[in-house]
């Protein structure tokens, strides 16, 4: 299991008139967390694309527990529980500054060959970076 965590300060434009984060922004938070998870392994998403690999989201689920608010610092924990194959499956926990769980989420992404637009196995250079 590989875990990475990032902090995000909620911006005004991500909230409604009550200062509550709009539900659609959580997809962006998850993307930021996945990108930083890859970077923590030493893989840049841009470099991966330069090598002909896309990683589109094919499934996403979010379970909202509590609201996040404007100017609050939230933490997004990214968890990889099993080694990727043709797909990579992430669990997420988003918490507030008190450590309260705001959102539990999951995304599944597929490795796609940019040239053929077909699914492919996770590149070996990524698998090599994931501890056993």
> What span, in angstroms and rounded, lies between the C-alpha atoms of 32 and 44?
12
**Contacts of 17 by beta carbon, 8 Å cutoff, 6+ apart:** none
Our CA angle for 10, 66, 77, nearest 5°, is: 60
> In the annotation, is 16 catalytic?
yes
| DSSP for residue 130 | S
16, 71, 91, 128: the catalytic one is 16
| Per-position DSSP letters for 2-19, written without gaps between them | EEEEEEEEPPGGGB-TTS
Catalytic residues: 16
């Amino acid at each position: 299991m590989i875990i990475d965590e990032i902090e995000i300060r909620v911006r005004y434009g991500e909230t409604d008139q009550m200062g509550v984060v709009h539900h659609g922004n959580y997809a962006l938070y998850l993307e930021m967390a996945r990108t930083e998870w890859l970077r923590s392994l030493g893989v840049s998403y841009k470099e991966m694309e330069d090598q002909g690999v896309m990683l589109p989201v094919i499934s996403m689920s979010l379970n909202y527990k509590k609201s996040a608010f404007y100017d609050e610092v939230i933490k997004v924990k990214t968890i990889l529980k099993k080694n990727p194959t043709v797909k990579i499956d992430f669990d997420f926990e988003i918490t507030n500054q008190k450590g309260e769980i705001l959102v539990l989420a999951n995304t599944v992404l597929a490795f796609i060959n940019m040239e053929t637009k077909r699914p492919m196995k996770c590149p070996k250079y990524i698998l090599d970076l994931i501890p056993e």
